[in-house]
Amino acid sequence: MRILLTGAAGFLGSHLCDRLLREGHQVVGMDNFITGSPDNLAHLAGHPNFSFIRHDVSNFIFVGGKVDAVMHFASPASPNAASPYGYVNLPIQTMKAGALGTHNTLGLARANQARFLLASTSEIYGDPLEHPQKETYWGHVDPIGQRSVYDEAKRFAEALTMAYHRFHGIDTCIVRIFNTYGPRMRLDDGRAVPNFLKQALNHEPLTVYGDGSQTRSFCYVDDLIDGIYRLLISDIHLPVNIGNPVETSVLELAHTINRLTGNPADLIFKPDLRGESDPQRRQPDIERARTLLNWEPKVSLEDGLHRTVTYFKQRLGLA
Residue 6 one-letter amino acid: T
The dihedrals phi and psi of 178, each to the nearest 5 degrees, come to: -95, 170
Q: Are 173 and 117 in contact (CB under 8 A)?
A: yes
Beta strands in the chain (DSSP E): 2-6, 26-31, 50-54, 69-72, 115-121, 172-177, 180-181, 206-209, 215-217, 219-220, 240-242, 247-249, 267-270
Half-sphere exposure of residue 103: CA atoms within 13 angstroms, side-chain side: 10
Q: Are 226 and 287 in contact (CB under 8 A)?
A: no
Distance CA 192, CA 218 (A): 10
Half-sphere exposure of residue 233: CA atoms within 13 angstroms, side-chain side: 13
Output the CA–CA distances (angstroms, integers) from residue 180 to 37, 147, 185, 191, 291, in the order listed. Answer: 18, 18, 9, 10, 21
Output the CA–CA distances (angstroms, integers) from residue 101 to 55, 64, 92, 117, 142, in the order listed. Answer: 11, 18, 12, 13, 22
Q: Which of 125, 150, 220, 229 is catalytic?
A: 150
∠ CA(54), CA(310), CA(266), 5° rounding? 115
The reply to whether 150 belongs to the active site is yes
Task: Give the number of residues written for the chain.
Answer: 319
Q: Is the dihedral of CA 100, 106, 112, 118 positive or negative?
A: positive
Distance CA 139, CA 109 (A): 28
- Cis bond before residue 194 (omega within 30° of 0): no
For the annotated catalytic residues, the residue numbers are 150
